[in-house]
Amino acid sequence: MNTSIKRITLLVLASAAWTLVATSCRTVRGFGQDVEHVGGHIERASR
């Protein structure tokens, strides 16, 4: 029984860590696209 609880706990923690990593990657990618978009506007305004 103790081993089952440890396995479930490990699975839950691993799932939470994976979700955090996957979410942060998407957030960083989206932030990069936003910065690129703003940079394009600045570049066009400076012409």
0.85 surpassed by pTM: no
Phi/psi of residue 46, nearest 5 degrees: -80, -10
Is 17 domain-assigned?
A: no
Q: How far apart are CA 31 and CA 13, in angstroms?
A: 27
Nearest to 35, CA basis, from 24, 27, 45: 27
Per residue in 1-47, pLDDT (tens digit) is 578 888 889 999 999 888 887 777 777 778 888 888 889 988 888 88
Q: Is 15 part of a structural domain of the chain?
A: no
Q: Is 40 helix (H, G, I), strand (E, B) or coil?
A: helix
Domain presence at residue 46 = yes
Distance CA 8, CA 24 (A): 24
Residue 30 lies in a domain: yes
Report pLDDT for 12: 93
Question: Domain residues for 32?
Answer: 23-47
